Structure 1
Amino acid sequence: MSFKTLVAGVALGLSLIAAPAYAETIKIGATPGPHAQILEAVKPILAAQGIDLEILEFSDYVIPNEALASGELNANSFQHQPYLDNQVKDRGYAIESVATTVNFPIGIYSDKYENIADLPDGAKIGIPNDPTNGGRVLLLLEDNGLLDLKDGVGTAASVADIVGNPKNFEILEVDAAQLPRVLPDVDAAGINTNYAEQAGLDPVNDPILRESPKGPYVNVIAVRTEDKDQPWVKALVDAYHSDEIRTFVETTFNGAVLASW
């Protein structure tokens, strides 16, 4: 073997050792808006490790878990822990969270009133029709003395749990994504931050009542239980929890979205 061939062989060996540990694609589901935007910022961090992050956007809160459970996705990033817990309980999915991501304090918005105390007797209030996000709005109303709920219902609160309604509010359950569209037709509506932003609302300044950022509604990355210990999961979480992504969240969303790590 010539010296030139030996040097070339050593160089090839070193290049193989230095190559990224991964060479695969992660398909991750997200809702449009901040969740997808943050993942776009995560994408080049993973690309440097040889991982292609393929982001698929879904316009509702049901299909991303169905797609994950069926194997069409490797992960998703769109939901908070109480919603995931409810989905697992109701549908038997073998999926679980592997990391927290960001918090989107939910807000109650109104085109007609500037203060929650101004809502009249019999006001129509739209809330998300999925159990956990609808429950968030009901708990927010209760925390501000506008409704009474059964003791102990917690994050599972539903319209059926209302035991006191002194202002006779009419609670209307609406698909979460449609709430910005029905806002002109109701007196107020509890709208998730991602849908509020898509509709041109300011999640920091426009709500007439806003949820505290401290609570159980921090969003998560979910994967199939069988995959939770895969190396790519750690790579995804580490990239998401990087200082670069924290800075991206803080500078892009100006307080409407809060990093959890």
Structure 2
Amino acid sequence: MKKSLILILTALFLVLAGCGQSASTSSDKANGTTDQAASESKDNKEMTTLKVASLPAPMDAILLLVKPLLVEDGINLEIVEMSDNIQPNDALANKEVDANFFQHVPYAEAYNDAHDSKIVPVQPVYNALYAGYSNKYKSIDELPDGASVAIPNDPPNIAHSLLLLEQNDLIELKEGAGIKATLQDITSNPKNLQFKEVDLLTLNRMMDDVDMVTMYPAYAKPLGLSAKEDALIVEKDMQAFAITLMAREDNKDDPAIQKLAERMRGPEVEKFLKEEYTDTYPAF
């Protein structure tokens, strides 16, 4: 009888001990699952998507550089690369994207005037050395009388080209013409230069057709040309034409756009421009 009672109590103790161990294990698993879920929730916090329209390098390259940095800020940068220099402003004005990065302020202002839009600068990022290149001549002194010069066909970049030529003593412009200069503002043209207006994106295809082409590094670099090494003439500092991050008047102060601006003036971008695009320099 005594022996039976001892066996029953022992069995009962083992059962209770087993239940306690099971409960403890279940509790530990539950806590572990909760901690993991909390960690995953933290890691997968809701991201803000920011859509930015751009053109090929170095514009899109700079955006690609800051894209992983923005993840740390809770921002998913969606880069929308476009094929011409009209689409990025159309997309921004129509609220198809949140910002764009491809132009300088005079170009944006000309677009605003033509389309009654409100595209505004957020952050100047870099200055690109605007220059004149030739496949036919090695120095500007060789440029003949009546030489043909291809320049962009949009008003702001016509002005940029004319200012480049004036800075290098090839023409003179009416006093005060500045960043709104037109061909009609030329008051002196000693070499009788002949101008051919061409779409900005196709300027580099004109190298064999004219005596000189004025263009940005983004279009010269694919030809293996450098403003500092190959150009006949190079602009002096013109901050007005800095390539700038743009937004709309109604969203320029959005925290995500301001964080993008902060990243685009960061040390990573400064280092990238100095090392990878030597014909540019930071504008911040």
Structure-1-length-normalised TM-score: 0.90
Report what 1:94 is aligned to: 118
Number of residue pairs aligned between Structure 1 and Structure 2: 258
Alignment of 1:1-261 (within 5 A): 23-253=47-277, 255-261=278-284
Give 5+ residue unaligned stretches, structure 2: 1-23
Alpha-carbon distance, 1:10 to partner:
8.1
How much is the aligned-residue C-alpha RMSD, in angstroms? 2.2
Q: Which runs of 4+ in 1 moved over 4 A?
A: 2-16, 18-22
Secondary structure of the 2:176 match is coil
Alpha-carbon displacement from aligned partner over 1:132-189 (angstroms, at most 9, x marks no partner)? 1121111111122211222211101111222221211101111111111111110001
Contact 1:74 1:223 in 2 (8 A): yes
Query: Distance between the aligned counterparts of 1:86 and 1:119, measured in 2?
Result: 32
Secondary structure of the 1:238 match is helix
Query: Distance between the aligned counterparts of 1:199 and 1:71, measured in 2?
Result: 35
Q: Which has the larger radius of gyration?
A: 2
Give 5+ residue unaligned stretches, structure 1: none
Given the superposition, is the C-alpha separation of residues 163 and 246 from structure 1 closer, same or farther in structure 2, using an over 3 Å criterion?
same
Query: Greater helix percent: which structure?
Result: 2
Query: Distance between the aligned counterparts of 2:104 and 2:45, measured in 1?
Result: 31
Alpha-carbon distance, 1:12 to partner:
6.4
Contact 2:131 2:233 in 1 (8 A): yes
Amino acid of the structure 1 residue aligned with 2:283: S
Alpha-carbon displacement from aligned partner over 1:66-111 (angstroms, at most 9, x marks no partner)? 1110011111010011111221122211221111111101010001
Contact 2:153 2:199 in 1 (8 A): yes
Alpha-carbon distance, 1:8 to partner:
7.3
Alpha-carbon distance, 1:60 to partner:
2.1
Alpha-carbon displacement from aligned partner over 1:14-53 (angstroms, at most 9, x marks no partner)? 876x668861221111111101111110111012223221
Which region of structure 1 is more displaced relative to structure 2, 159-168 or 4-13? 4-13
Structure-2-length-normalised TM-score: 0.83
